[in-house]
Amino acid sequence: MRKILSIILSVILLVGAILLANYFIKNKNKPKPKFDKIIKTVSIDTVKNGEVPIIISASGNLVAKNKIELYSEVQGVLSTAGKDFKAGTNYQKGQTLLRINSDEFYASLQSQKSNLYNLVTSIMPDIRLDFPNEFEKWQSYLQSFDLNKATPKLPEYASDKEKYFISGRNITTTYYSVKNLEVKLGKYQIRAPYNGILTEALVTPGTLIRSGQKLGEFIDPSIYEMEVNISSEFSNLLKVGNAVSLHDLEKTQSYTGRVIRVNGKIDQTSQTLKAYIEVKDKLLKEGMYLEADLTAKSEHNAYKIDRKLLIDNTSVYVVNDTLLELKNVNPVYFEAESVIIKGLPDNTHLLANPVSGAYNGMPVKINTEIK
């Protein structure tokens, strides 16, 4: 029985091996499945070399060109003026910004002016006797003297003798003391030097003002400056008067300015140069953050492309007939989103958009709707 079972099992295995071999032989001759080759459709740009301006991008905050910080040079209590001394208040040139009570100081000034008048009056008899020819001019001076008006200038001296006489009576010293007090009296009232707006107010009516105390800030809102840092490599290209295009971060508003100053010193740490741009617009406010595009120079026989099209900063893909070809180029200037290149002949078909998985020799189809 064991021999019979062994023979039967051997026959079964042999038959199975023959059948399996025939199966593999039959399947070997079947044709392999075919897959359609996918050819990507690409858009192209036709290269036309020419003059390409190099735009330097910079940014900064606006600062009013005409701006003053208000400080008190005298002491006293702040009085009410024509308008409230509050941030946002507009003033015309010559209008009173604020007024400090000067009653006590004014009385002191009047006392000094009265003293000067008395001194001149006291020397009139001596002038009639010693300087009869000069009596009339000194009499005219007394007649023009008004305590409620600015002190008139002392008459011109006709001789050194007259000069010594007047000085010896302490008239000259008293006169200049009075003029000094008159100048100081004018500091109790601060007027607007130009049409502008109060941007900061640190005191209110009734506040005791001390000498040297900051009172506020006043600006001219019609003209602004913006300081920007430019790479030192363009130091010889920046010129006063160059036009500048400015815009906000969202690029919803654009403005036009011009370079008004260029610093002559390069920052040793950052190797940058400071340039100052002047811009005028009613929509501008101090402190606004703007971006500026300065035209430095132009590159001849160049072409501007998207930075995404540049491969390893040395080459780009072009379409030669129906195949992609990697061409070496010379990038001359990098901008935020674009690059200026040289080295591509005119009428070269350059990829308009990056193609994923691109390689040299890759077959492509040109989109005939956009060329």
Cβ-contact 134, 127 below 8 angstroms = yes
Residue with tokens 């021999």: 3
pLDDT in the model for residue 19: 76
Per residue in 189-248, pLDDT (tens digit) is 999 999 999 999 999 989 899 999 999 999 999 999 999 998 887 777 778 888 889 999
Q: Is the model's pLDDT at 370 over the cut of 60?
A: no
- Compute how many other C-beta atoms are within 10 angstroms of the C-beta atom of residue 45: 18
pLDDT in the model for residue 31: 57
Q: Is the model's pLDDT at 113 over the cut of 60?
A: yes
pLDDT in the model for residue 194: 94
Distance CA 20, CA 18 (A): 6
In whole numbers, what is the pLDDT of the chain averaged over residues?
88
Confidence of residue 26 (pLDDT cuts 50, 70, 90): low
Q: Is the model's pLDDT at 116 over the cut of 80?
A: yes
Cβ-contact 364, 322 below 8 angstroms = yes
β-strand partners of 157:
none
pLDDT in the model for residue 371: 43
Q: How far is CA 114 from CA 69, 80, 119, 184, 320, in A?
A: 36, 30, 9, 18, 101
pLDDT in the model for residue 168: 92
In the predicted model, what is the mean pLDDT of residues 61-81?
92
Q: Is the model's pLDDT at 30 over the cut of 70?
A: no
Q: Do β-strands 76-79 and 96-100 pair in parallel, antiparallel, or remain unpaired?
A: antiparallel
Per residue in 141-172, pLDDT (tens digit) is 999 999 999 999 999 999 999 999 999 999 99
Q: Do β-strands 189-191 and 96-100 pair in parallel, antiparallel, or remain unpaired?
A: antiparallel
pLDDT in the model for residue 32: 56
Q: Is the model's pLDDT at 27 over the cut of 80?
A: no
Phi, psi of 206 (to 5 degrees): 95, -10
- Compute how many other C-beta atoms are within 10 angstroms of the C-beta atom of residue 183: 9
In the predicted model, what is the mean pLDDT of residues 245-262?
90
Least confident of 36-40, 113-117, 203-207, 271-275: 36-40
Looking at the chain, the whole-number percentage of residues with pLDDT higher than 70 is 95
Three-class DSSP labels, the chain: CHHHHHHHHHHHHHHHHHHHHHHHHHHHCCCCCCCCCCCEEECEEECCCEEEEEEEEEEEEEEECCEEEEECCCCEEEECCCCCCCCCCEECCCCEEEEECCHHHHHHHHHHHHHHHHHHHHHHHHHHHHCHHHHHHHHHHHHHCCCCCCCCCCCCCCCHHHHHHHHHCCHHHHHHHHHHHHHHHHCCEEECCCCEEEEEECCCCCCEECCCCEEEEEECCCCEEEEEEEEHHHCCCCCCCCEEEEECCCCCCEEEEEEEEEEEEECCCCCEEEEEEEECCCCCCCCCEEEEEEEEEEEEEEEEEEHHHCECCCEEEEEECCEEEEEECEEEEECCCEEEEECCCCCCEEECCCCCCCCCCCEEEECCCCC
pLDDT in the model for residue 304: 92
Q: Classify 34 in phi/psi space as left (phi over 0), alpha (psi -120 to 50) or beta.
A: beta
Q: Is the model's pLDDT at 125 over the cut of 60?
A: yes
Look at the pTM and tell me if it is higher than 0.75: no
Least confident of 87-91, 134-138, 352-356: 352-356
Residue with tokens 């640190």: 202
Enumerate residues 6+ apart whose C-beta is below 8 A from 53: 295, 296, 297, 298, 299
Q: How far is CA 355 from CA 310, 319, 347, in A?
A: 12, 12, 20
pLDDT in the model for residue 74: 93
pLDDT in the model for residue 218: 96
Distance CA 341, CA 305 (A): 7
Per residue in 289-316, pLDDT (tens digit) is 999 988 777 888 999 999 999 998 899 9
Closest CA to 309 of 344, 280, 281, 277: 344
